[in-house]
Each structure stands twice: as C-alpha cells, then as structure tokens.
Chain A
Amino acid sequence: MTEKTVLNETHRALGARMVDFGGWDMPINYGSQIEEHHAVRRDAGMFDVSHMTVIDLHGPRTRDFLRHLLANSVDKLKVHGKALYSCMLNEQGGVIDDLIVYFLGEEFFRLVVNASTRQKDLAWIKQQAAAFDVQGSTSVAGGRMPGATDVQGSTSVAGGRMPGATDVQVKERPEFAMIAVQGPNARSKVIGLLHEVDRSRIEKLGKFAAAAAQGPHGMPLFVARTGYTGEDGFEIIVPQEHAVVLWEALLAAGVAPAGLGARDTLRLEAGMNLYGQDMDETVSPWEANLGWTIALDEGRDFIGRPVLEAQKAAGVKRVMVGLVLDDKGVLRHGQPVLTANGTGEILSGSFAPTLNKAVAFARIPAGAPGDVRVDIRGREVPVRVVKYPFVRDGKPCEGI
C-alpha cells in the first residue's frame, strides 16, 4: 500500500508528476525539474518532506542514550534548539541511517530520520533503548558509566518504577508534516508569514538550530534552519492539519513548489549523501566521506566505535570522491569507475543544472587514482576527481 502525505492532493492540483519513492507517492516535479532546481538556487523553493520520520526521545537518560546510539557526540549540543548531523551505526560500523538530532530539553531530544529506513530505524532505536535501560540498571551497581549513576538509575534499581516504564521513551510523531523551504530568499519569505512576535527571534536563529514559532492563523511550527540543498532556508515541522494552509501561504508568498527530482540534484551539487545510494549498512562512515561526523571523544562508548577505531588505525580500502565530467554525457549510479588501483563505482550521479554538466560521487579503491575514466555504456570517458561540494550558496565551488 502506497503511503500519501497530507499534501498529496495539493501536489496533484499543482500538476505534479507523482512517483513511488520508498513506498510514498511523492511529486518528482511540477513541470520542469531544472527550473525548480534554479528556483531554489536563485530565489526560494519548497519541498514536501512529510514522508520523513520524526522520532521524539524523552526521559532523564536520553542524552546518555544518544551518546551510545550515535557516532557523532550529542555533547556538542549545549544550547536548546541546537541540531547535530550524525550517523547511526550497527556493531560492524555500517551506517543504519543518517539523521539530524535536535536538543530540545535536558530530557527531550528529537530525531529526524529518513523515510525509507523508518521501520528498521524505529526497531533499532527501541531495541537499543530497551537494552540501555537494562545496562543502566546494572551499571548502577558496577558504576560503569559516569552520569548513569543518577537518581533515576538508583530508583529503578530500588524498584520504584512503574512496570514497563523505561528511562528512554521512543515516540514516533506521524501526526507531523514537514515542509523544507530553501533558497537565498527562503528565510525572509517564511519569516513574513510568522506571527509578529516571533519574527525577530526567528530572523536571528543560527544555522543548524531550531525554535518554535507561530505560523499563519497561529498554527504551531517547529522552524529549523537546516536543509538538504546547499542553500540557506528552513525545514518546518507542522501538525498535519495545518500543512495545506501553510503550503498555500508559502505559495502565495512566491515560494516555488519543487519536487524530489530537484531535491536530488540540489543535494548532490551541495555534496550531501543520500542514504541507500551513497552509504548503507555495508559502508563505514570513513568510506562515505562522513569522517567529520564521527566524534572519537574520550571514553564515549558508542555503537560501532571499536570497528571505526580499528579501521582508522589500519586505513580503509575504499574512499569516496567527487567526479566531474567536462564532456557531454551523464554520470549515473552504478557506472564503473576505472582507476590506477582498480575499479570503483558511481554512487549518486546526475546532470548538475547549476554547472550545466554531470557530476557524481564515486567509491573507488584508496590511493592515488591516476587518470580516472567512467564506463558510460561501454564508452570510456575521462573524468576529473575533485573535492566537493560542487556548489555552495548558488555558486560553483572553486576547481569545479
């Protein structure tokens, strides 16, 4: 059964071409994917990302739990509203998912995870939370984990808890829709729709931070200055029943509807990984250019850490690089990449509308790659290996 977001009828009324995306009936474009891409780079566009999964974690030991669950360190989150990008790894150091975690209170964190991984993520998080509770209880006696030997831990050992109660409650929030508004003019267009009392506060909201605000007719919004396009903007979580009104208000404010097609070319140009294509459970963050998200902070026992440390010491055999094709043609997922050290593969690849040529991420054998070629349907085409992002804030990056 295909799932639909609350904006499904709205997309169809706008003439969207709908496709199945991980079990969701979503707009791929509303006419021209390239025009939607340019609208985001040059002005403001919006995406329905309500298929993404919001998971709230509550409880006194939530921060401790996230220290264990995530490869990045939630100890970096010191100010309420601040967000952090992280991988969630399995014991083998493979990526179960990438996500954003928001710090909303000492006992309240919010995760936004991918749509395609919803079920396995929820199962994993619940399983880990349950195991963590058990560990937490025993650790009080063993004193294994500083910070876990708190009041809550002691009472739980004393049996003072409700039966079935846990230290970390995992709660999915399917009643939320989500709209990403992105582009150089995105923030001002959103701020214009907020209640006057909220405007200056949201105007000052820093990058990778979120705050509550009132939208049109006082609807409650969770406004995050995050995104997946390489442009400034907001990702807005809104109760489903208000999503259509918010969408229409954004449309009236001159924000262009943009489909998942444009979202994909925008994030590729911006150098952002797509889960399932650029990394998965068989890939370590080191091999997906996500080393910057791994925090090997002293004494933090996170899932996958021993494997990541061993890989770091030994060096990984595969690396992820950016490719640019200066000739005609399009780099695409699955095409073989020929290097001096053997054959790799294109992960995400596409025509990049801002650059008017094709770019890609590829995973290739480690070491100096020499002259690199891509096999495009039997034709060997020379490509350049580059550092990415390819595009930032509307402009091609240097060397692209």
Chain B
Amino acid sequence: MSEIPGDLKFLKSHEWARAEDDGLIRVGISDHAQGQLGDLVYVELPEVGASVQAGTGVAVVESVKAASDIYAPISGEIVEVNELLNDKPEIINEDAYGEGWIFLVRPSDRAELDELLDANEYEELAEKDEH
C-alpha cells in the first residue's frame, strides 16, 4: 500500500478529503479502497452545482467486481468534477490521492472536517480491513 499523505482526512467508508489553499475541499477514495475494488471501469460523477450533505452518496465508482457509493465527507456545493475519469476511470487505480480525485466541494461548514479520521486513524482502520 502506498503512503497515506498526512494532510488528508477520511471517512470510515474510505473517502478522503483535502482542504485546498483556496478553501475548497477535494474528494477521492483511498488507495486501500481502490485496491479492494480492483480495476475501475466506470465513474458516475455528480452534477456541478449540486448541493451535497455530509455522509450521503454523491457519486458511484464501479470496478469489474462491484459498484460502490461514494459519500460526501463534507456538506456544500459541488464546484468541479474530474472529467478525466469519464474516459479513464483507471486513474483512480493508478493515483488515488492525486490525479484520481473525484470532485471538489465548496464547504458550507468547515467544522465538519474535524469529525473525520486523520491519516493515522484511517491507516489503522485500513490495516484491520486488510485481514
């Protein structure tokens, strides 16, 4: 498993959230999650402009093996989605914490970030999950 960047926060359901310098929150799924799912073949992206609630499903990633809902780690408005994933969903397999981001949120309440797991807590959870 690749190193988990220390600036990320996580949901137990394996989504990561990164606070960008401009105050927006970038969201993706963890490297652990992509490994569990296997080769991704399809990503259903949310609409730009849609408002999302923390903890509710906003996107779907499908691997050969399974479909998996992606939950919003934070409430707010979708301001951008990663259109590259339409043609190359496998970017998530290759670079889950970088090029494989899924959507960008303008948060309505940044305090929600504090409720998420930090990188160490998530790593512990992922390790347990491995076996």
A261 lies within 8 A of B35 (CB): no
B65 lies within 8 A of A261 (CB): yes
Q: Which residue of A lies closest to B65 (CB)?
A: A261
Tell which of A25-33, A91-99, A176-184, A382-390 binds the partner: A25-33
**Is the C-beta of B80 less than 8 angstroms from some C-beta in chain A?**
no
Given A265-B64, A332-B67, decide whether A33 and B39 contact each other with a Cβ distance below 8 A: yes
Q: Which of under 10, 10 to 19, 20 to 34, or 35 or more describes the interface residues of B? A: 10 to 19
- CA separation between A40 and B44, bound complex, in Å? 29
A28 lies within 8 A of B67 (CB): no
A34 lies within 8 A of B39 (CB): yes
- CA separation between A377 and B61, bound complex, in Å? 13
Query: Which residue of B38, B41, B93 is within 8 Å of A330 (Cβ)?
Result: B41
Query: Which residue of A17, A34, A328, A332 is within 8 Å of B35 (Cβ)?
Result: A17
Task: Quote the shortest CB–CB distance from B80 to chain A (angstroms).
Answer: 20
Given A17-B35, A328-B42, A351-B42, decide whether A34 and B67 contact each other with a Cβ distance below 8 A: no
Given A332-B67, A377-B67, decide whether A261 and B62 contact each other with a Cβ distance below 8 A: no
**Is the C-beta of A348 less than 8 angstroms from some C-beta in chain B?**
no
Q: Which residue of B lies closest to A328 (CB)?
A: B42
Residues of A within 8 A of B81 (CB): none
- CA separation between A377 and B64, bound complex, in Å? 16
**Is the C-beta of A206 less than 8 angstroms from some C-beta in chain B?**
no
Residues of B within 8 A of A350 (CB): 64
**Is the C-beta of B60 less than 8 angstroms from some C-beta in chain A?**
yes
Task: Quote the shortest CB–CB distance from B127 to chain A (angstroms).
Answer: 15
A32 lies within 8 A of B42 (CB): no
Given A351-B41, A351-B42, A377-B67, decide whether A330 and B35 contact each other with a Cβ distance below 8 A: no
Residues of A within 8 A of B39 (CB): 32-34
Task: Quote the shortest CB–CB distance from B36 to chain A (angstroms).
Answer: 8
Q: Which residue of B lies closest to A357 (CB)?
A: B41
Q: Mark B46-66, 1 if CB is under 8 A from A, else 0.
A: 000000000000001010111
Q: Which residue of A lies closest to B93 (CB)?
A: A32
**Is the C-beta of A239 less than 8 angstroms from some C-beta in chain B?**
no
Given A261-B64, A261-B65, A332-B67, decide whether A29 and B38 contact each other with a Cβ distance below 8 A: yes
Q: Mark A2-44, 1 if CB is under 8 A from B, else 0.
A: 0000000000000001000000000011001110000000000
Residues of B within 8 A of A28 (CB): 38, 65
Task: Quote the shortest CB–CB distance from B86 to chain A (angstroms).
Answer: 8
**Is the C-beta of A396 less than 8 angstroms from some C-beta in chain B?**
no
- CA separation between A33 and B35, bound complex, in Å? 11
Q: Which of under 10, 10 to 19, 20 to 34, or 35 or more describes the interface residues of A? A: 10 to 19
Residues of B within 8 A of A29 (CB): 38
B38 lies within 8 A of A33 (CB): yes
- CA separation between A32 and B65, bound complex, in Å? 12
A353 lies within 8 A of B67 (CB): no
Residues of A within 8 A of B67 (CB): 330, 332, 377
Q: Which residue of A lies closest to B86 (CB)?
A: A328
- CA separation between A332 and B62, bound complex, in Å? 11
Residues of B within 8 A of A330 (CB): 41-42, 62, 64, 67
Q: Which residue of B lies closest to A332 (CB)?
A: B67
**Is the C-beta of A254 less than 8 angstroms from some C-beta in chain B?**
no
Query: Which residue of B44, B60, B62, B93 is within 8 Å of A351 (Cβ)?
Result: B62
Residues of B within 8 A of A33 (CB): 38-39, 64-65
Residues of A within 8 A of B66 (CB): 332
- CA separation between A313 and B38, bound complex, in Å? 46
- CA separation between A34 and B90, bound complex, in Å? 11
Query: Which residue of A17, A34, A328, A329 is within 8 Å of B64 (Cβ)?
Result: A34
A sample of 27 inter-chain contacts (CB < 8 A) reads: A17-B35, A28-B38, A28-B65, A29-B38, A32-B38, A32-B93, A33-B38, A33-B39, A33-B64, A33-B65, A34-B41, A34-B64, A261-B64, A261-B65, A328-B42, A328-B44, A329-B44, A330-B41, A330-B62, A330-B64, A330-B67, A332-B66, A350-B64, A351-B42, A351-B62, A377-B60, A377-B67
Residues of B in contact with A (beta carbons under 8 Å apart): 35, 38-39, 41-42, 44, 60, 62, 64-67, 93
The 7 closest A-B pairs by CB, nearest first: A351-B41, A34-B39, A330-B62, A351-B64, A33-B39, A33-B38, A33-B64
Residues of A in contact with B (beta carbons under 8 Å apart): 17, 28-29, 32-34, 261, 265, 328-330, 332, 350-351, 353, 377
